[in-house]
Amino acid sequence: MSADVETGLPQARYSYGGDEFVFVELAEAMSLKVNFRAMAITNRLKEEGVEGVMDVCPSNASYMVRIDPDVLHPDTLISRLKEIDEEVGDVKGFELRTRVVDVPVMMEDPWTHEALMRFRDRHQDPEATDLEYSARINGYDSKDDFIAALLGSPWLITMIGFVPGLPWCYQLVPPEEQVEVPKYVRPRTFTPERAFGFGGGFAVVYSVQGAGGYQLYGLAPAPVLDVKQRLKDFEDSIVFPKPGDVWNYRGVDREEFDEIRASVEDGSFEYRKKDFTFRADRALEDPHAYNEEILGVLYGD
Amino acid sequence: MAIRVKSPGLLTTVQDTGRFGEYAIGMPPSGAMDVFSYQVGNYLVGNEDGSAGLEITYFGPELEFTESAVIAVTGAEMPPKINGEEAPTWETLSVEEGDVLSFDYLRNGARSYLAVAGGIDVPVFMHSRSTYTLIGLGGYEGRALQAGDELQLGDARNGDARNGDAQVGKKVDADAIPRYTKETELRVIIGLASYRLTQESMKEFLNVEWTVTPDADRVGYRYRGGELGFVEREQPAGAGSDPANVVDFGYPIGSIQVPGGVEPIVLMNDAVTGGGYATIGTVISADRDRLAQSKTNDKTRFRSIELEEALAARGDRRKTLAEIKDSLA
Amino acid sequence: MAKTVKAQMPGTFYRRPDPDSDFYVEEGGSVSAGDTVGLIEVMKSFHEVKAEEDGTVSKFLVEHEDAVDAGQDLLELE
């Protein structure tokens, strides 16, 4: 793979997704920096309001644009995207007006535990739980240390999709601290709605019940998808997460889990969240110090 | 009420052109799989473009009309019958109160479309009436039709409302009616993460005569018949350990992935919008109508083309549809 | 002329509900109207094939796990 000498960034691959999509893979490997580039480029494209652009979909290390080729020729779009790519460069100084959100999750809850035990024959290590297995292969002494790492630093939402509202989350920690786990050998046919899972380098909250191949660790009491738009956080969209959100997964016990479930049921639940301007340079330079600051914004008064 | 479902058939859903503009939140378009047949149905009954109709898969329903209506059946060779008498397809028909529309066995193709003057009136959800069964939204209560359901008709007639009658007896020119066979060729633009496949495997992909598996549905068409391999590499950060996996990315509609190396899947209208399987190319929009009319156990070949040919095919299809529309106006 | 039971839809034909069970009916066995004589798998679900009248199965015209077309004769009834 060729590399751009000046910036040290890998060369993006521009590709046609049939006649209706342009797909751009910025890099094969995931990193915070490449996701910042994907967000910077797609935000710029959205701001420009180019006629013929129908959907702009930022992804983890790539992005995709759906077009009406009768209005906008894919090559015309690609030329403009290459210009935007140069303007964005190595995302030095990239800022994102976003929000930081408290997302409760009950680790080792009884419901996902039951689900994962049903599918041990599809797992790499049928003798261990998903948490025990993931902790071991990532070099943690215990699953509690592993859980502490997942709950210890906030995450960036780097992509939404698969099914409506499912957020891919990448932890704001240095590369050497990133967790990485394989997906199940064969996917499960069942995953509970709101299950907290992990696959490759990404944490997710399953927005709906269904098939799935990610390792399962816990359950979120609050939804990420509300088709009926009952809850306040869903007034504008059936989907809560947005690319560029910063989420802090906070461990809750059964008591708090039940309280939150009750408030979801009676329609009063609202996520704790604060507006926040995310500075990419700071997240890359000293993530732990920056994370402390982010959590201060979320939980301070 | 205007249509009572006596028996639902195998999978009969309310569909229109689809739910577009929501891909970035993970919402697939849904909508009619064979857009050509669906649109021609609306032309026949004098509906506004985009009016909702019924998509009927593999085995037809029995539908009783509780008021007179103007209808047309397009798509697969699955002969419609009115009160047991065979009726023509690709032609505008009138039915009276109490008439029952049923279908004979499927002969060729996979999906029939029922257009009714005025359109099927179900609530619009995110600017579409299309059914997306996976999370139960759109269409009739978010699901496929069931016995006992009662459908309302809308007022989506073109021009002089209620005057669908003027369309009765109009038919699509025989030359313009698609012929479905048990062999389909689909044109693809190779790309996306095609660099993950070995060169021999790409050749194999394009040379093999693939067979549509029984799994093929509105989510995706799965094929068998060959075996494909991936280029060896040290898996990049975030991708997971399986060579078929990539760092999760977006899937274009029509894109082809090969999860286990043996069964390529073409993602269709109700598909997942992204994930971690390497995609190797995309079936062009003009050929997805025919893909949707291929049925389980039919044969399929994939042919690699360049973008300009895909855009030309798109233009031809649009022109053909416009000509049919003019001929029926 | 022998009566037949036809496939309502295309798919894969199975003569038993799961790999551990016996066939629904053997050649020479008798069936009543409404009895299940097989399953057709298509679009990730299974659909029962039922006899429409009473009779004795004289012959299966397709094998267990064969691909079948809609309207195809699956077995003969006497």
Question: Does the residue B329 lie in any domain?
Answer: no
Query: What's the whole-number mean pLDDT along residues B230-248?
Result: 92
Chains that touch C (3 or more CB pairs under 8 A): B
CB interface of A with B, residues 48-67, below 8 Å: 54-64, 66
Q: Which residue has the tokens 């269904």?
A: A210
Is residue B57 located within the same domain as residue B87?
Answer: yes
Question: Does the residue B250 lie in any domain?
Answer: yes
Is residue B19 located within the same domain as residue B158?
Answer: yes
Is residue B136 located within the same domain as residue B195?
Answer: no
Question: Does the residue B322 lie in any domain?
Answer: no
Q: Any idea how long chain A is?
A: 301
Q: What is the pLDDT of residue A91?
A: 86
For the stretch B57-96, pLDDT in tens is 999 999 999 999 999 999 999 999 999 999 999 999 999 9
User: Is the model's pLDDT at B48 over the cut of 80?
Assistant: yes
> Cα separation of B307 and A67, whole Å?
14
> Do the domains at A13-90 and A97-299 have one common CATH topology?
no
Is residue B169 located within the same domain as residue B195?
Answer: no
Is residue B43 located within the same domain as residue B168?
Answer: yes
Closest CA relative to residue A116, chosen from A101, A98, A130, A137: A130
Closest CA relative to residue B107, chosen from C62, C70, C11: C70
B262: confidence class by pLDDT, cuts 50, 70, 90: confident
Instruction: Say whether A86 sits in a helix, a strand or coil.
Output: helix
Is residue B31 located within the same domain as residue B109?
Answer: yes
Tell me which of B180, B209, B230 is where a domain ends.
Answer: B180
Question: Does the residue B324 lie in any domain?
Answer: no
Is residue B190 located within the same domain as residue B173?
Answer: no
User: In the sheet that A53-58 helps form, which strands lie side by side, from edge to edge?
Assistant: A13-17, A21-25, A62-67, A53-58
Residue type for B256, please?
Answer: I
Q: Which of C6, C44, C67 sits opposite B297 (nearest CB)?
A: C67
User: Is the model's pLDDT at B2 over the cut of 80?
Assistant: yes
> Per the structure block, which two tokens stand in for B317?
């299809």
Is residue B64 located within the same domain as residue B143?
Answer: yes
Q: What is the pLDDT of residue A55?
A: 95
Tell me which of B180, B198, B214 is where a domain ends.
Answer: B180
Residue of B nearest to C44 (CA): B215
Please give, rounded to a whole number of angstroms, the shortest distance from the CA of B112 to a CA of chain C. Answer: 14
The domain ranges of chain A are: 13-90, 97-299
User: In the sheet that B53-57 helps form, which strands lie side by side, from edge to edge?
Assistant: B11-15, B53-57, B108-116, B69-77, B92-95
Question: Does the residue B327 lie in any domain?
Answer: no
Domains of chain C (ranges plus CATH)? Answer: 3-77 (2.40.50.100)
Residue type for A16, please?
Answer: Y
Q: What percent of chain B has pLDDT over 90?
A: 92
- Contact between A19 and B284 using a beta-carbon 8 Å cutoff: yes
Instruction: Say whether A75 sits in a helix, a strand or coil.
Output: helix
Say if strands A195-199 and A167-171 run parallel, antiparallel, or are unpaired.
unpaired
DSSP symbol at A35:
H
Domain CATH number, residue B279: 2.40.100.10
Query: What's the whole-number mean pLDDT along residues B134-157?
Result: 94
Query: What's the whole-number mean pLDDT along residues B114-135?
Result: 96
B329 or B315: which leads in pLDDT:
B315
Name residues whose C-beta falls within 8 Å of residue A250's C-beta, 6 or more positions apart in sequence.
Answer: A102, A103, A104, A105, A151
* Three state DSSP letters for A226-295: CCCCCCHHHCCCCECCCCCCEEEEEECCHHHHHHHHHHHHCCCCCCEEEEEEEEHHHHHHCHHHHHHHHH
Q: Chain B residues with CB inside 8 Å of A64's CB?
A: 23, 249-250, 252
Closest CA relative to residue A160, chosen from A66, A52, A68, A64: A64
Helices (H) and strands (E) in chain C, counts: 0, 8
B259: confidence class by pLDDT, cuts 50, 70, 90: confident
The fold for domain A13-90 equals Gyrase A; domain 2 (3.30.1360)
Q: B239, B247 in Cβ contact below 8 A?
A: yes
Residue C44, sorted as left (phi over 0), alpha (psi -120 to 50) or beta, turns out to be: left
Task: Classify the C-alpha dihedral B292-B293-B298-B300 as positive or negative.
Answer: negative
> Cα separation of C50 and A1, whole Å?
59
- Beta-sheet strands, E only, within A177-242: 195-199, 202-205, 215-219
User: Is the model's pLDDT at B160 over the cut of 80?
Assistant: no
Chains that touch B (3 or more CB pairs under 8 A): A, C
Q: What is the mean pLDDT of chain B?
A: 95
For the stretch B170-222, pLDDT in tens is 999 999 999 999 999 999 999 999 999 999 999 999 999 999 999 999 999 99
Instruction: Tell me how far CA of residue B76 lies from CA of B29, B291, C43, in angstroms.
Output: 22, 12, 17
Is residue B196 located within the same domain as residue B89?
Answer: no
Q: Chain C residues with CB inside 8 Å of B58's CB?
A: 9-11, 42-43, 70
Is residue B9 located within the same domain as residue B107?
Answer: yes
Residue of A2, A77, A163, A209 for testing the chain B interface, max B β-carbons within 10 Å = A163
> Cα separation of B181 and A300, whole Å?
67
Tell me which of B164, B180, B196 is where a domain ends.
Answer: B180
Closest CA relative to residue B256, chosen from B176, B190, B311: B190
Residue B118 has φ and ψ, to the nearest 5°, of 100, -20
Residue of B215, B297, B299 for testing the chain C interface, max C β-carbons within 10 Å = B297
Domain that holds residue B271: 183-317
Question: Does the residue B110 lie in any domain?
Answer: yes
DSSP symbol at C18:
S
Is residue B136 located within the same domain as residue B210?
Answer: no
Question: Does the residue B80 lie in any domain?
Answer: yes
Tally the domains of chain B. Answer: 2
Chains that touch A (3 or more CB pairs under 8 A): B
Query: What's the whole-number mean pLDDT along residues B148-171?
Result: 80
Residue type for C19, please?
Answer: P
Residue of C8, C9, C73 for testing the chain B interface, max B β-carbons within 10 Å = C9
Q: What is the pLDDT of residue A4?
A: 39
Architecture of the domain delimited by A97-299: Beta Barrel (2.40)
Q: B70, B168 in Cβ contact below 8 A?
A: yes
Q: What is the pLDDT of residue B163?
A: 57
A–B CB contacts, 8 A cutoff, strictly below: 192
Name residues whose C-beta falls within 8 Å of residue B263's C-beta, 6 or more positions apart in sequence.
Answer: B213, B222, B223, B224
C-alpha A26, offset from chain centre: 17
Question: Does the residue B326 lie in any domain?
Answer: no
pLDDT in tens, chain A (301 residues): 333 334 455 689 999 999 999 999 999 999 999 999 999 999 999 999 999 999 999 999 999 999 999 999 999 999 999 999 999 988 889 999 999 999 999 999 999 999 999 999 999 999 999 999 999 999 999 999 999 999 999 999 999 999 999 999 999 999 999 999 999 988 898 999 999 999 999 999 999 999 899 999 999 999 999 999 999 999 999 999 999 999 999 999 999 999 999 999 999 999 999 999 999 999 999 999 999 999 999 999 7
Task: Classify the C-alpha dihedral A134-A116-A193-B250 as positive or negative.
Answer: positive
- Contact between A183 and B245 using a beta-carbon 8 Å cutoff: yes
The neighbour count for residue A67, using CB atoms within 10 Å, is 23
The chain C residues in contact with chain B (CB within 8 A) are 6, 8-12, 41-44, 47, 67, 69-71
Is residue B78 located within the same domain as residue B18?
Answer: yes
B161: confidence class by pLDDT, cuts 50, 70, 90: very low
pLDDT in tens, chain C (78 residues): 579 999 999 999 999 999 999 999 999 999 999 999 999 999 999 999 999 999 999 999 999 999 999 999 999 999
* Three state DSSP letters for chain B: CCEEEEECCCEEEEECCCCCCCHHHCCCCCCCCCHHHHHHHHHHHCECCCCCEEEEECCCCEEEECCCEEEEEEEEECCEEECCEECCCCEEEEECCCCEEEECCCCEEEEEEEEECCCEECCCECCECCCECCCCECCECCECCCCCCEEEECCCECCCCCHHHHHCCCECCHHHCCCCCCEEEEEEEECCCHHHECHHHHHHHHHCCEEECCCCCCCEEEEECCCCCECCCCCCCCCCCCCCEEEEEECCCCEEECCCCCCCEEECCCCCCEEEECEEEEECHHHHHHHHCCCCCCEEEEEECCHHHHHHHHHHHHHHHHHHHHHHC
